[in-house]
């Protein structure tokens, strides 16, 4: 799985960001844009795993630019195949973390309308 964010926008067209560790310039750009999107209230849905072969997405509540991980609040449903990109919370009630370089995310702005 590639680490990317698809930003959906009907008016301006869709954009794709990459968290590829082999491209540090693009990775830094992606970090800044993701932090800005979360600050502005964009819905950022991160693939946390699969269930019955279908991708399962959960909303990111934050992003850690030092570790390049999405912060996912709340628990996950039973039966989800989490895969290697999921890092469960250290303690109950704490948010989970998912590496941005190994998962897909989709974002929709508050004013993405059409």
What average pLDDT does the chain have?
A: 80
pLDDT in tens, 4-24: 888 776 666 678 889 988 999
Residue 47 has pLDDT above 70, yes or no: yes
pLDDT of residue 87: 58
Q: So where are the chain's domains?
A: 4-108
The total of other beta-carbon atoms located within 10 Å of residue 112's CB is 16
Residue ranges in 40-107 assigned as alpha helix (H)? none
Torsion sign across C-alpha atoms 58, 106, 48, 95: negative
Q: What is the pTM of this model?
A: 0.79
pLDDT at residue 65, as a whole number:
94
| pLDDT tens string 56-114 | 888 899 999 999 999 987 655 555 666 655 555 556 666 788 899 988 998 876 665 54
Site of tokens 């932090």: 35
Helices (H), the chain: 24-39
Q: How much of the chain, in percent, has pLDDT values that exceed 90?
A: 30
Q: Which pLDDT value is given to residue 5? A: 85
């Amino acid at each position: 799985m590639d680490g990317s964010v698809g930003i959906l926008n009907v008016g301006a067209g869709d954009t794709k960001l990459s968290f590829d560790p082999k491209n540090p310039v693009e990775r830094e750009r992606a970090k800044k844009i993701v932090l800005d999107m979360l600050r502005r209230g964009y819905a950022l849905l991160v693939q946390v795993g699969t269930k019955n072969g279908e991708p399962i997405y959960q909303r990111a509540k934050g992003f850690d630019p030092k570790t390049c991980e999405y912060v996912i609040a709340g628990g996950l449903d039973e039966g989800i195949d989490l895969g290697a990109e999921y890092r469960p919370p250290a303690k109950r009630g704490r948010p989970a973390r998912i590496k941005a370089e190994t998962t897909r995310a989709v974002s929709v702005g508050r004013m993405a309308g059409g």
